[in-house]
Structure 1
Amino acid sequence: MTYDISNKTILVTGANRGIGKVLVETFVEHGATKVYAAVRNLESASPLVEKYGDKVVPIQIDLGNPQSIVAAAQIAKDVQVVVNNAGAFKGTNPLDNNAIASLEFEMNINVYGLIHMAQAFAPVLQANGGGVFAQLNSVVSMKTFSNFATYSASKAAAYSITQALRELLKEQGTIVLSVHPGPIATDMGDAAGLTEIAESPILVAEGIIKALEAGDFHVFPDSMAKQIGGVYQSFAANVVEVNMSEG
């Protein structure tokens, strides 16, 4: 199933900086009618509003606050595409004293936040014809990096949930994307110590658009992601993306 984002209403979480900000900009420039810039602090979306006018509508969402997600879904009743980009990064390894606390924090945002987003917005997408639910999962959902293993674990869990959403939401005509960037030039990438090898966030935005046009489930947008994806794709096509009996 393919999808064209032009003339569509889109919601992007974590829209005030990094990948999220570039997603908003790219979607508008590719013909989206309106983009809800979902942020914790509404004022942080002001630069996007100044640049694009009423094509960008700030909306309050904190993935750690389920009530804010429910409230946003009641406001953005016209949304046709949801891109859950926001996430949390602590950069902790399993032997650190704060490993459990870091994992709990990252799971709350990266996994429970994803589930709350899907629960709140799946009915909205269904009411508007099916649409798209895209989740930013990262290559670390497939390959753990020991220095930020708790983040990797949370993203692996998010990837698992995304696979389930692909099967469940297919019944209502919703396309699900699992997006797996490698090192991207963002504040989070800097925090992970990946500045020197990081690539442009525009690759993620363009990768999502191309995946929708091609009808793909996985998105491997940058150099490291393509390297991992090239090896992983056979497994994905023959295991992840096929229906298998649970009995």
Structure 2
Amino acid sequence: MSDLNNVTALVTGANRGIGRAIVDALLARGATKVYATARDVDTLAGLAADPRLVVLRLDITDADEVAAAVAAAGDVTLLVNNGGSLAFGDLLAADLTGIRSDLSTNYLGTLAVTRAFVPVLRNNGGGAIVNLLSLVALGAVRGMGGYSVSKAAAASMTQAVRAQVADLGITVHGVFPGAVDTDMIKAFEMPKTGAPEVAQAILDGVEAGEEDIFPDAMARAGRKVWRDDPKALERQMAAI
């Protein structure tokens, strides 16, 4: 998707962090319409007033709400799968409830929304799907084992879907952020990139046709390590 002007987008998890920043960036770039979604629409109240903005309730793990979103947003040409969950804990000791929640949301929920909107994008002449993944998909962090696994599954799904829609005029972009200054990782004391900067880098990558987008300094450094020596990144991330 070479130009995001006049695009009609739907962004999941638009109530905070990267999702909210992407909504703002899309509007600033001249999007025709942006559907901003969240499980609780009250959390979207702080978004800037703009006639191009449409607020929708969407829990990506709820099949009925996914179907309702498709019915309400049949003009979408850009799908941004940003909605996610993070349950801290290691795989050997954490309660399985949190691990299941991360898999249900980050992998199965993202897949469900993607499956539902591919026909929409196809009917609208093609478009783009953007999946917010994480650098931990390439190197797991022990304190967020379930999250790392779910993002790795979503990364593999991104590749599989990319191959399936290649002939439909739909591009699929995987985004692998490092540490971003959001509520999700506010407890971590480390250098973080601001969400607005990351959002701009993501959209720049989509416009440039990049299939794998590393939108911040930590992500780009991690990519270099991973490309040169995947085991080195594994050890580096495990030490966090």
The TM-score with structure 2 as length reference comes to 0.91
Determine whether 1:153 maps to 2:149.
yes
Shift of 1:194: 2.4
**1:134 aligned partner:** 130
> 1:85-100 residue pairs with structure 2 within 5 A?
85-98=82-95, 100=96
Cross-structure match for 2:22:
23
Question: Do the aligned partners of residues 46 and 110 (structure 1) sit closer, same or farther apart at CA in structure 2, a change above 3 Å counting?
Answer: same
Residues 59 and 195 of structure 1: CA distance in aligned 2, closer, same or farther (over 3 Å): farther
Task: Answer whether contact 2:4 2:207 (CA < 8 A) is retained.
Answer: no
**Residue 166 (structure 2) aligns with:** 170
Could you say which residue in structure 2 is the equivalent of 1:213?
207
Q: What is the deviation of 1:195?
A: 4.4
CA distance in 1, matches of 2:229, 2:34: 35
Identity %: 35
Amino acid across the alignment from 1:115: L
Whether 1:101 and 2:126 are equivalent positions in the alignment is no
CA-CA distance at 1:71 after TM superposition? 1.0
| Gapped regions of structure 2 (runs ≥ 5) | 231-240
The equivalent position to 1:56 in structure 2, one of 44, 53, 59, is 53
Opposite residue 22 of structure 1, the aligned amino acid is A
Equivalent residues of 2:179, 2:193 under 8 A apart? yes
The aligned counterpart of 1:68 is 65
Aligned to 1:241: none
Would the aligned equivalents of 1:189 and 1:198 in 2 still touch at CA under 8 Å?
Answer: no
Structure 1 CA distance for aligned equivalents of residues 64 and 167 of structure 2: 26
Deviation, structure 1 residue 235? 9.4
- What is the correspondence of 1:1-20 to structure 2 with a 5 Å cutoff? 2-20=1-19
What is the deviation of 1:231? 3.4
Aligned pair count reads 230
Q: Distance in 2 between matches of 1:138 and 1:150?
A: 13
Structure 1: segments with no counterpart, 5+ residues: 237-247
How far did residue 230 of structure 1 move? 2.2
TM-score w.r.t. length of structure 1: 0.89
Structure whose residues are more often helix by fraction:
1
> Considering only aligned residues, what root-mean-square deviation do their CA atoms show, in Å?
1.6
Contact 1:204–1:221 (CA<8 Å) still a contact in 2?
A: yes
Q: Detail structure 1 runs of 4+ shifted over 6 Å in the superposition.
A: none
C-alpha distance in structure 2 between counterparts of 1:208 and 1:36, whole Å: 18
Partner of 1:245: none
Deviations 1:195-237 (A, max 9, x none): 432210123211222212221100101111001122345799x
Task: Judge conservation of contact 1:185–1:195 (CA < 8 Å) in 2.
Answer: no
Q: CA deviation at 1:37?
A: 0.3
Q: Does 1:46 align with 2:45?
A: yes
8 Å Cα contact 2:14/2:38 also seen in 1: yes
Give the Cα–Cα distance (whole angstroms) in 1 for the partners of residues 82 and 160 of structure 2: 18
Q: 1:199 aligns with which of 187, 193, 196?
A: 193
Task: Summarize the Cα distance change of 1:233–1:125 in structure 2 as closer, same or farther, 3 Å threshold.
Answer: farther
Compared with structure 1, are the counterparts of its residues 149 and 59 closer, same or farther at alpha carbon in structure 2 (3 Å cutoff)?
same
